[in-house]
């Protein structure tokens, strides 16, 4: 008999809980557990991890029941997420070497690609506006200590 997963969302959520719970519990064993009167650093996380894994087991288990609500996991589109978070990571990588202006421009241009209505023109205009606005507000307005330009140009 093939195992039918009625509620795929719950099934996946339960798996996440089980993996995370087990992971945290095993990790906690690396610290001193102690006893209830003198809880060590591992005590609380160990038991919360155990509870989490148990909740995961219940969630996964009930997703298999025949009367579980049928819910399918949609196939994830990785495109939008990759563009958006890629832009964010790029910003993090570029900020210290290249300064705020260039890293912000990179963030706006890359993340704008995520939209299905993307046009270069709109993205570039948006990038210029946002860079000018952020510089005015954050650097001149509330004086955050962030370099504006690449360090090799500043000196």
Partner 1 sequence: MELISHLALGFETALNLQNLLYAFVGCLLGTLIGVLPGLGPSTTIAMLLPITYTLPPVSALIMLAGIYYGAQYGGSTTAILVNLPGESSSVVTAIDGYQMARKGRAGAALATAGISSFIAGCVATLVLAAFAVPMSELAFKFGPAEYFSLMVLGLVGAVVLASGSLVKAIGMILLGLVLGLVGTDVNSGVARYSFDIPELTDGINFVALAMGIFGFAEIIVNVEQREHRETFTNHVTKLFPTAEDFRRMLPAAARGTALGTVLGMLPGGGATLSSFASYTLEKKLSKRSAEFGQGAIEGVAGPEAANNAGAQTSFIPLLTLGIPSNVVMALMVGAMTIHNIQPGPQVMTSNPELFWGLIASMWLGNLMLIVLNLPLVGVWVKLLKVPYRLLYPAILVFCCIGVYSINNNTFDVFITAAFGVAGYVFARCGMEPAPLLLGFVLGPMMEENLRRALLLSRGDFSTLVTRPLSAGLLVATLLLLAVVALPAIKKTREEAFQEA
User: C-beta of 58: minimal distance to partner 1 in Å?
Assistant: 6
Least Å distance, CB 1 to partner 1, is 26
Q: Closest distance between partner 1 and the C-beta of residue 14, in Å? A: 8
Q: Which is nearer to partner 1, 1 or 24 (CB)?
A: 24
**Phi and psi angles of residue 39, each rounded to the nearest 5 degrees, phi first:** -60, 130
Q: Which is nearer to partner 1, 69 or 153 (CB)?
A: 69
Q: In terms of CB distance, is 79 or 153 closer to partner 1?
A: 79
Q: Which residue lies nearer to partner 1 by CB, 2 or 38?
A: 38
Q: Least distance to partner 1 from the beta carbon of 3, Å?
A: 19
């Amino acid at each position: 008999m093939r195992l039918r997963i009625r509620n795929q969302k719950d099934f996946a959520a339960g798996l996440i809980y089980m993996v995370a719970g087990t992971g945290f519990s095993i990790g906690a064993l690396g610290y001193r557990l102690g006893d209830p009167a003198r809880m060590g650093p591992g005590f609380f996380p160990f038991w919360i991890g155990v509870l989490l894994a148990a909740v995961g087991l219940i969630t996964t288990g009930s997703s298999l029941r025949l009367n579980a609500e049928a819910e399918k996991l949609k196939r994830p589109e990785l495109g939008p997420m990759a563009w958006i978070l890629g832009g964010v990571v790029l910003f993090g990588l570029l900020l210290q070497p290249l300064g705020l202006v260039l890293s912000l421009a990179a963030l706006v241009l890359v993340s704008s690609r995520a939209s299905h209505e993307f046009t270069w023109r709109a993205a570039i205009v948006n990038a210029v506006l946002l860079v000018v606005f952020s510089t005015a507000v954050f650097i001149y307005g509330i004086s955050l200590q962030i370099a504006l330009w690449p360090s090799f140009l500043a000196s």
